[in-house]
A and B are shown apart, each in its own frame.
Chain A
Amino acid sequence: KAGVTQTPRYLIKTRGQQVTLSCSPISGHRSVSWYQQTPGQGLQFLFEYFSETQRNKGNFPGRFSGRQFSNSRSEMNVSTLELGDSALYLCASSFLSTGLAANNEQFFGPGTRLTVL
C-alpha cells in the first residue's frame, strides 16, 4: 500500500506570494491533518479534514487555509507569505476522525520544505 505523498517536496517563495501544497493520503483514509514544524515552535497542528469537511483547526491566522476533495486528497494554501512561514509542512492521514481516532495511528508524509525569502 502506498504511503502518504506530498508535493512538492521543496519550495522557495518570496514574501507576499501565496503557495499551495498538496497531500495524497493512504488509499481508504478519509482523514487528513496538516502540521507545521519549525525549530522554534516544534510540531503544531494546522487543521484536519474528514470527508471534505474541516473538523478541527489549530491556532493559525486566516492566511492558512485548506480543503479536501472527494477522493480525500487535500491541499493547503498560505497567502501573503511571511518569513516566519518558512517551515516543514507535514500531512498525515488516518482511517478515522474525531474521538474514535484516539485508538488509531496517523501516517505522516515526508513533508514539504517551504522557504520564504
Chain B
Amino acid sequence: DAKTTQPNSMESNEEEPVHLPCNHSTISGTDYIHWYLQLPSQGPEYVIHGLTSNVNNRMASLAIAEDRKSSTLILHRATLRDAAVYYCILRDDGGSQGNLIFGKGTKLSVKP
C-alpha cells in the first residue's frame, strides 16, 4: 500500500476552519483516500473518503489535488470536540487487503 505523510500536530482556534494536509505522492489510480479520527481512549471513527473528486459530508470536506498526490481534510468550524488524532489512509480498490494501514496521524488541538 502507498504511504501517507501528515504533520505530527496542528493547532486551531475554536470556531475557525481547520485544514489538515496529507501527502501521498506514490498514490495509485485505484487508491481511495480515507480519513479517520480517534478521540482519546476510543476506537477510530470514519470521517470521509474519496477517489478523485472533492467530497462533502456532514462532518467535513475532503479536497483532493488534481494530480491526487495530496489531499486536505477541512473542518469548517472547529469545536473543542474536534480535538483528536486524524489519520489519512490509502485503500487500494484493486488489492486484496481489507485492512487499514495507519500512520502516526495528526494530533489536532483546539483552543477555546
B98 A97 Cβ-Cβ under 8 A = yes
A33 B99 Cβ-Cβ under 8 A = yes
Q: How many residues of B contact A (CB 8 A)?
A: 27
Known: A4-B43, A56-B96, A103-B93. 8 other contacts (CB 8 A): A35-B100, A42-B105, A43-B44, A43-B100, A48-B99, A56-B97, A102-B32, A102-B91
Q: How many residues of A contact B (CB 8 A)?
A: 31
Asked whether A98 and B96 contact (CB < 8 A) given A90-B43, A110-B42, the answer is yes
A1 → chain B closest CB, angstroms: 14
- A: residues with CB less than 8 A from B are 4, 31, 33, 35, 42-45, 48, 50, 55-56, 58, 90, 92, 94, 96-103, 105-111
- Can you name 30 A-B residue pairings with CB atoms under 8 Å? A33-B100, A35-B99, A35-B100, A43-B100, A43-B102, A45-B99, A45-B100, A48-B98, A55-B96, A56-B96, A56-B98, A56-B99, A92-B43, A92-B44, A98-B97, A98-B98, A99-B93, A99-B94, A99-B96, A99-B97, A102-B92, A102-B93, A103-B32, A103-B51, A105-B34, A105-B46, A106-B100, A108-B45, A110-B43, A111-B42
